[in-house]
Amino acid sequence: MALQKETPRLVLASSSASRKAVLEAAGLRFEAVPAAVDEAAIKEACLAEAIPPEDAAIMLAEAKAERVACRMPEALVIGGDQLLVCRMEDGRDRWFDKPADLAAARAQLLALRGRMHRLISGTVAWRGGERVWQDVTVSRLTMRGFSEAFLDAYLAVEGEAVLSSVGAYRLEALGVQLFSKVEGEHSAILGMPLMPLLRFLRGHGVLME
Amino acid sequence: MALQKETPRLVLASSSASRKAVLEAAGLRFEAVPAAVDEAAIKEACLAEAIPPEDAAIMLAEAKAERVACRMPEALVIGGDQLLVCRMEDGRDRWFDKPADLAAARAQLLALRGRMHRLISGTVAWRGGERVWQDVTVSRLTMRGFSEAFLDAYLAVEGEAVLSSVGAYRLEALGVQLFSKVEGEHSAILGMPLMPLLRFLRGHGVLME
């Protein structure tokens, strides 16, 4: 007996290697289809209108899922996004983006050093032209007060691999040495919260109960 | 500049593939040396004397670290153990062991189904003939009320891979589908709590601050 039904076909509206790896490890069969969405423009609009990051994460996930779902109405399309938000010394929340280069990654890690930040994961499922599910999961990570010498050594070892993450770290690799505290489910931190997603897939008849 | 000092050499008193993988992913350089310790006898003695599982996990980790440390007094030797404890319907704590075969794994997963269990990780460091550090980290995992049909399909896919884990599951793989809730740091659940260990290694001068 198969753990996953043949239909509906499951589609991940993403080209993120990390999200794919999370779903593959959990034993899901799916197809990954990149969604051409202008994430920067959506984020900018959300910031301009002071939309809470939880809502923005859902809007971003929704944009990706919808884009792919329009072309595949029979599929169950999963979209996901993750925002990194950190309260800075001025008391205001700052949203972080994937760093463009190693200098930006260094500046970002120094800004996050010694602070707790939130990873806000928005996940949305579309099927038959409409949204059938959504979830927001928040993880809390605290960076320790590492030295600049450590940071330079860290960036020298990791190299451009850090540019693939919104936080400029890979928690599943050397990035774990940046932290003093990690609160949240591992798959959510990697970009795809499995506990709520698997629950939805069982309720939706995709996975065995 | 290297993140880890050349001396003392770091030794993991274990042949556990999972523990090795956790340390390797975190970027640690170490040697794994199996410790010939009669774990079953230690566990039995602890149960007979009603020793709390937190203390038993430390005693097991200590036995492994000490055994290897005696042969390598100059090394920093890390020993680790993990106990799975679940409160059963009679209100008593039951300790679980690695299942001997797939039938035992099936019975164990049925006993854990629908309940929360604790993974108690004991970690100990030895150097120069004495213990220099110890840590107990507790993770809490809740198995959902899966069907027996799901369980049979799960065991058919995973096969003997489940026998390598005290819980008869690999959370980093298909085993995640067994759970409804996971509370605890991922590396601790896999068998080696990185947050306290990395903190110790920095304080001990092995890793850069």
B209 in reach of chain A (CB within 8 A): yes
Q: Tell me: pLDDT of A42 over 90.
A: yes
Q: Which two tokens stand for residue B152?
A: 């049979």
ipTM of this predicted structure: 0.93
Count A/B contacts: CB-CB distance under 8 Å: 85
Q: Which neighbouring-strand residues pair with A179?
A: A143
Instruction: Write the pLDDT tens digit of every residue in B83-100.
Output: 999 999 999 999 999 999
pLDDT tier at B197, thresholds 50, 70, 90: very high
Mean pLDDT of B157-168: 93
Instruction: Write the pLDDT tens digit of every residue in B28-81.
Output: 999 999 998 999 999 999 999 999 999 999 999 999 999 999 999 999 999 999
**How far, in Å, CA of A206 to CA of A37, rounded?**
27
Q: Tell me: pLDDT of B169 over 80.
A: yes
Q: Give the distance from residue A153's alpha carbon to the nearest chain B alpha carbon, in angstroms.
A: 6
Mean pLDDT of chain B: 96
B93 in active site: no
Q: How far is CA B100 from CA A50, B57, B97, B105, in A?
A: 57, 21, 9, 7
- Please tell me which residue in B38, B81, B93, B97 is annotated as part of the active site: B81
Mean pLDDT of chain A: 96
Q: Regarding predicted confidence, which is higher, B1 or A160?
A: A160
Choose among B3, B176, B185: nearest Cβ to A153.
Answer: B3
Q: Tell me: pLDDT of A186 over 90.
A: yes
Burial B12-51, CB ≥16 within 10 A → b, else e: bbbebebbbebbebbbbebebbebebeeeebbeebeeeee
B74 in reach of chain A (CB within 8 A): no
Which residue is listed with tokens 């959990």? A26
Do A27 and B174 make contact, defined as CB atoms within 8 angstroms?
A: yes
CATH no. for A10-203:
3.90.950.10
A187 in reach of chain B (CB within 8 A): yes
Domain boundaries, chain B: 10-203
pLDDT reported for residue A2: 82
Taking CA atoms, what residue in A is nearest to B144?
A209
A172 in reach of chain B (CB within 8 A): yes
Strand intervals (E) in chain A = 10-12, 31-32, 76-87, 93-96, 116-127, 130-143, 179-183
Q: What is the pTM of this model?
A: 0.95
Which residue is listed with tokens 């884009």? A67
Do B27 and A187 make contact, defined as CB atoms within 8 angstroms?
A: no
Mean pLDDT of A42-61: 96
Strand intervals (E) in B23-75 = 31-32
In percent, the amount of chain A with pLDDT more than 90 equals: 95
Do A179 and B195 make contact, defined as CB atoms within 8 angstroms?
A: yes
Mean pLDDT of B169-198: 96
Stretch (H or E) spanning A61: helix A53-69
Do B157 and A27 make contact, defined as CB atoms within 8 angstroms?
A: yes
Q: Tell me: pLDDT of A1 over 80.
A: no
Mean pLDDT of A118-139: 97
